[in-house]
């Protein structure tokens, strides 16, 4: 077992034994470690105490951390370059659409050029394509399906997650169409498997149950403004200012929903047209996203 495999709490008594005059060979034999390991520890201890020239332990740790960060950045850069090559774009790939500028996807010509890009050990690859503006993605509480808001098609899609991380055939979750201009944006699951959905043009928050029923939590729908946008969208001549005119006096263009707080019962609503975040308490806690487990486990795992 190498030098890095032993804690400082283990090394310290060993060095104290050597300091009392016991032979290195004897101590190494008693503990079942190599003599060279102990010599390395002793030299590092002398460096840390300023008795010999060299790189102190704190400096060594900083250097290791810096090198690790460099490797991470190099990996991220390689992923971005590969993603750009994959999508045949010079710019960093967009999550929802290949159209540039992004607002072109809202122009009334709902080109199904959105996609889902998976980045794993195999590198970046497209696992779902031909989506009319891919918006927020969530994995359901069972871990079996990936749900996404297909905004400009006014519906929710779900894909079975395959063993290799890819996606199976798409399915429509809930209504085929929520409405002519009822465009879903942010989504989040609660602990009971209900999907909470924000609709930015209609200023609404709705819940899609596992059984396919839809319930409205709140609505600040501006009917005339929404109908105008729907007509413009159908005529392929939609005005972005008209979309922002759909903002209501109480709620303005809901764009995201998330659960937080110690018990995950605090609901937070972000928007495109408000200078504040709406919040309220939910009777049902939210479902923690899969990647949260990494940090939860890190907090619970003791460090040797």
pLDDT in tens, 185-234: 999 999 999 999 999 999 999 999 999 999 999 999 999 999 999 999 88
Q: DSSP for the chain, please give it.
A: --GGGS-HHHHHHHHHHHHTT--HHHHHHHHT--HHHHHHHHHHHHHHTTSS-S--HHHHHHHHHHHHHHHHHHHHHHHHHHHHHHHT-SSPPPSS-S-SSGGGGGSS-----EEEEEEETTEEEEEEEEESSEEEEEE-TTSSEEEEEEGGGTEEEEEEBPTTS-B---EEES-S-S-TT--EEEEEEBTTSPEEEEETTTTEEEEE-TTS-EEEEEE---HHHHHHHHHHHHTT---HHHHHTT--SS---EEEEEEESTTS-EEEEEESS-SS-EEEE-SSPBPPPTTHHHHHHHHHSPP-
pLDDT over 70 (residue 173): yes
Q: Across all residues in the chain, what is the average pLDDT?
A: 83
pTM for this predicted structure? 0.66
pLDDT over 70 (residue 112): yes
Is the Cα dihedral 217, 213, 131, 110 positive or negative? negative
The domain defined by 136-298 carries CATH number 2.120.10.30: yes
What are the C-alpha distances in Å from 226 to residues 29, 53, 89, 150, 186?
81, 73, 34, 18, 19
Domain ranges of the chain: 3-54, 136-298
pLDDT-based confidence at residue 145 (cuts at 50, 70, 90): very high
Distance of alpha carbon 180 from alpha carbon 294, whole angstroms: 40
pLDDT value at position 295? 44
pLDDT value at position 176? 95
What CATH number belongs to 3-54?
Answer: 1.10.10
Distance of alpha carbon 127 from alpha carbon 138, whole angstroms: 15
pLDDT-based confidence at residue 67 (cuts at 50, 70, 90): confident
What is the mean pLDDT of the segment spanning 110-116?
A: 77
pLDDT value at position 304? 35
Q: Which residues are CB-contacts of 42 (< 8 A; sequence separation ≥ 6)?
A: 15, 18, 24
């Amino acid at each position: 077992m190498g030098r890095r495999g032993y804690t400082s709490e283990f090394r310290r008594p060993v060095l104290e034994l050597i300091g009392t005059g016991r032979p290195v060979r004897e101590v190494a034999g008693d503990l079942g470690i190599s003599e060279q390991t102990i010599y390395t520890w002793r030299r590092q201890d002398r460096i840390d105490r300023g008795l010999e020239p060299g790189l102190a332990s704190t400096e060594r740790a900083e250097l290791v951390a810096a090198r690790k960060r460099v490797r991470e950045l190099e990996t991220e850069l390689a992923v971005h370059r590969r993603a750009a090559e994959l999508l045949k774009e010079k710019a960093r790939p967009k999550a929802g659409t290949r159209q540039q500028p992004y607002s072109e996807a809202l122009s009334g010509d709902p080109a199904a050029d959105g996609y889902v890009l998976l980045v794993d050990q195999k590198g970046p690859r497209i696992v779902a394509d031909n989506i009319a503006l891919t918006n927020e993605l969530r994995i359901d509480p069972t871990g079996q399906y990936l749900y996404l808001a297909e905004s400009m098609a006014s519906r929710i899609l779900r894909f079975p997650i395959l063993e290799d991380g890819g996606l199976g055939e798409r399915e429509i979750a809930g209504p085929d169409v929520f409405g002519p201009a009822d465009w879903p944006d942010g989504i989040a699951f609660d602990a009971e498997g209900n999907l909470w959905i924000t609709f930015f043009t209609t200023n609404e928050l709705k819940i899609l149950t596992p059984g396919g029923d839809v319930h409205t939590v709140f609505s600040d729908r501006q009917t005339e403004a929404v109908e105008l946008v729907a007509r413009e969208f159908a005529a392929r001549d939609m005005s972005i200012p008209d979309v922002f005119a759909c903002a209501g006096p109480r709620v303005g263009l809901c764009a995201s929903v998330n659960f937080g707080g110690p018990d995950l019962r605090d609901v937070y609503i972000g928007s495109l047209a408000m200078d504040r975040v709406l919040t309220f308490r939910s009777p049902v806690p939210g479902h923690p996203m899969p990647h949260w487990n990494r940090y939860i486990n890190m907090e619970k795992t003791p460090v040797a």
